[in-house]
A = this chain, B = another copy of it.
Amino acid sequence: MVHTGACVAALMGQGGSKKYRLTWKWLQFFKNDRDRRDLVTCGSAAGIAAAFRAPVGGVLFALEEMASWWRGALLWRAFFTTAVVAIVLRALIDFCFTGKCGLFGTGGLIMFDVTSANVTYHLVDVPPVFLLGMIGGILGSLYNFLLEKVLRIYSLINEKGSAYKILLACSISIFTSCLLFGLPWLASCQTCPIDATEACPTIGRSGNYKKFQCPPNHYNDLASLIFNTNDDAIKNLFSKNTDAEFHLSSIFIFFVTCFFLSIISYGIVAPTGLFIPVILIGASYGRLVGMLIGSRSNLNHGLFAVLGSASLLGGSMRMTVSLCVIILELTNNLLLLPLIMLVLLVSKTIADGFNRNIYDLIMKLKGFPYLKAHAEPYMRQLTVGNVVTGPLQLFNGIEKVSNIVHVLRTTRHNGFPVIDEPLLSVSPVLFGLVLRAHLIMLLKKKAFLLTPVPTGTDDFNQFTAVDFAKKGLGNGDKIEDIELTEEEMEMFVDLHPFTNASPYTVVETMSLAKAFILFREVGLRHLLVIPKFSGRLPVVGILTRHDFMPEHILGMHPSLINRWKRLRIQFPCWDKIF
């Protein structure tokens, strides 16, 4: 759902899809970097809001996990989106109340309602909850560790082709089915409780007490967990009325099975989530702890299951406020909030000691150049000049067409500095930064001059704002597609009107950490590096996202790898003074 929401939003940000004729004129206003980013963030917030019926949790998830660059306006937009989601969802539930829409809306607005549970806990309950959080943190980081290893293997297999992908998915699917069908044979049959509120035993799709292989009036507790939907299993585990329903051994088997199955299921071509499996694993883990502690605690097993889910979510996803609100909105139990906060604190703190959160690990594995929110300590030891690489490609304010074509064909850079040779000065001056996409547009429209003399703003009239709008992914023109005659190649282009005349710049002696903060907080794509002393060229290089990636920096300065952990903060520490 999160992914779906983000995809729909991204499609809107591209102005609809031309291929499928889903395009509207007004969507053009979103055709730029900033609005597209905002749309994707709001889309994912809406996804969470719809999937978990947690609108506020959705906003906070987008804030904490999605948005790499947060603006005040974005908070309002995300809130607007999820509010609309909440209202529509509530209206549809209302509309479907009579059962017109199948199973939709039967759960109401709260998925795993535990309001009815009597929450009385005292100071003596804090140590077991603390312990639960600690083990949850360790389990969460173990989950991340194993998932990363499995994904690494899967990506090797998936690279070999579609046949391998399908084969992998099929074998995992068959293995899962066999395991899930075989496992309940391990559990012994239980007598149906006399005061059961629902039918016992049952065979069909729904129902708490599954018959499986058991004689009449008996049920198999492991089968009851496995042959239910995930949602119902979680509801059962969270419920306070099921303290006697499950045996310790069944819960243990269920926990171990879920833990490993969810790890090997993620990363195959079929869409499998992370959130609901982790909640389920956590719920069974919490139940297990609750059963082991037994009557020494005032909390019932259902509440332990909720706290177990919180601890595993905290240990794996490492979010704080958003998890807190999502759990609150899922379970509707405000009185448990202090304990949930405690568990999240403990599990996140412990898990952070082992590895990074699961989304970071996956993004790193997929090779996305995602910048962390903080500068690494070793960045303080380097200047911007230390990491700028490669031959710099410059354009003059009025540049020959053949030069532009040559540079665009031989490099993959997306931005180029433009310099001017002023009449009054000896050294050239930095005029600005021109984007690859805009250069290609200029070449395509053939806005050329015969002589290298500026003509004023005449060129502008050929262009409309749409020409400079951000193109959809893969829809941008390529330099290879543009054909120019020999004559045109000898002509000139006046780049001045199309150049960003005031790009953000940093001096080459600035510490990398400070440049990183600028780059990250302002959400830049390119950062120009200018020399400290005016020399021949007015620009030293361009920093892009890739230049700030730890792999790139440590690759250039391998001596830092072992040294940076010993480094201390410089004196006086300019990072903290503004």
Q: Assess whether A337 is interfacial by the CB under 8 Å rule.
A: yes
A570 to chain B, nearest CB (A): 10
- A32-B573, A35-B576 known; A321 and B502 CB under 8 Å? no
Cβ–Cβ contact A80 & B345, under 8 A: yes
Q: List residues of A (56-115) whose CB comes within 8 Å of B's CBs.
A: 56, 59-60, 63-64, 70-73, 75-76, 79-80, 82-83, 86-87, 89-91, 94-95, 108-110, 115
Q: Assess whether A525 is interfacial by the CB under 8 Å rule.
A: yes
Query: Which residue from chain B places its CB closest to the CB of A68 in the assembled complex?
Result: B72
**How far, in angstroms, from A59 to B342 measured CA to CA in the complex?**
15
Contacts of A578 in B (CB 8 A): 33-34, 522-526
Query: Which of A165-173, A248-256, A513-521 contacts its partner?
Result: A513-521
Cβ–Cβ contact A82 & B341, under 8 A: yes
Contact of A465 among B55, B321, B571, B575 (CB under 8 A): B571
Cβ–Cβ contact B342 & A87, under 8 A: yes
Cβ–Cβ contact A533 & B328, under 8 A: no
Contact of A335 among B109, B468, B524, B575 (CB under 8 A): B109
Cβ–Cβ contact B502 & A505, under 8 A: no
**How far, in angstroms, from A186 to B468 measured CA to CA in the complex?**
69
Contacts of A574 in B (CB 8 A): 500, 502
- A325-B56, A468-B572 known; A76 and B110 CB under 8 Å? no
Cβ–Cβ contact B338 & A89, under 8 A: yes
A110 to chain B, nearest CB (A): 6
Contacts of A345 in B (CB 8 A): 79-80, 83
Contact of A83 among B87, B110, B344 (CB under 8 A): B344
Contact of A334 among B109, B517, B525, B532 (CB under 8 A): B109
- A502-B507, A514-B504 known; A338 and B87 CB under 8 Å? yes
Copies in the complex: 2
Contacts of A424 in B (CB 8 A): 533
What are 8 A-B residue pairs whose CB atoms fall within 8 Å in the complex? A33-B577, A79-B341, A91-B123, A325-B325, A328-B328, A468-B572, A500-B577, A502-B514
B-contacting residues of A (Cβ < 8 Å)?
32-35, 55-56, 59-60, 63-64, 70-73, 75-76, 79-80, 82-83, 86-87, 89-91, 94-95, 108-110, 115, 122-123, 126, 320-321, 324-325, 328-329, 332, 334-335, 337-338, 341-342, 344-345, 373-374, 383, 422, 424-425, 427, 429-430, 435, 438, 460, 465, 468, 470, 498, 500-502, 504-507, 509-511, 514, 517-518, 521-526, 532-534, 571-578
Beyond A60-B60, A465-B573, A470-B577, list 9 extra A-B contacts (CB 8 Å).
Answer: A83-B338, A95-B123, A115-B115, A328-B328, A502-B511, A502-B514, A504-B514, A524-B578, A526-B578
